[in-house]
C-alpha cells in the first residue's frame, strides 16, 4: 500500500516537472516569432481595379503602403499570395525601402 502511494506521488511530481519544462519551451518560441510582417488588401466593390496594399509590423504599425490601379488583385491565387509574402519578407528584412512600386513590380502591373 505504501509503495503504491509512493509511486503515485512520484508520478505526479514527474508530470508536473514535464509540464513546467514544456511551458518554458513554449514561452521562448513565442518571443522568437513576435517579429513578423502582415499585409492587407483594401479595395472597393465600385472600383475593384484600385487596391491599397498595406504592410504592418508585429505591433500593427503601418510600415509600407502601395496603391495598385488598373488591375484586380485576386488573393485566392497562390501566385499572388507568394508574391505578396515575398514583398513582406523584403520589407521585413530591409527597413529602409524608398520605392513605391514593390508590389506592382512583383505582380508585373503596368
Q: pLDDT (tens digit, 9 = 90+) per residue, 22-81?
A: 655 544 444 444 467 789 999 888 888 899 999 888 888 888 888 888 888 888 999 989
Q: What is the C-alpha separation between 77 and 81, in angstroms, rounded?
A: 7
In this predicted structure, the answer to whether residue 4 has a pLDDT above a threshold of 50 is yes
Q: Which SS3 state, helix, strand or coil, does residue 41 take? A: strand
Is there a contact between 54 and 37 (Cβ–Cβ < 8 Å)? Answer: no
Is there a contact between 42 and 54 (Cβ–Cβ < 8 Å)? Answer: yes
> CA-based Rg of the chain, rounded to a whole angstrom?
24
For residue 86, CA distances in Å to 30, 41, 47 come to 23, 15, 26
For the chain, the domains span 1-34, 38-107
pLDDT for position 11 = 81
Q: pTM, whole model, 2 decimals?
A: 0.57
Amino acid at each position: 500500500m505504501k509503495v503504491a502511494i509512493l509511486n503515485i506521488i512520484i508520478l505526479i511530481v514527474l508530470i508536473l516537472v514535464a509540464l513546467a519544462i514544456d511551458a518554458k519551451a513554449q514561452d521562448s518560441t513565442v518571443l522568437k516569432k513576435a517579429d513578423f510582417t502582415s499585409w492587407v488588401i483594401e479595395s472597393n466593390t465600385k472600383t475593384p481595379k484600385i487596391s491599397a496594399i498595406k504592410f504592418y509590423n508585429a505591433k500593427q504599425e503601418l510600415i509600407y503602403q502601395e496603391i495598385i490601379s488598373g488591375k484586380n488583385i485576386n488573393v485566392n491565387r497562390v501566385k499572388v499570395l507568394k508574391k505578396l509574402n515575398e514583398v513582406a519578407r523584403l520589407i521585413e528584412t530591409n527597413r529602409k525601402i524608398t520605392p513605391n512600386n514593390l508590389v506592382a513590380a512583383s505582380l508585373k502591373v503596368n
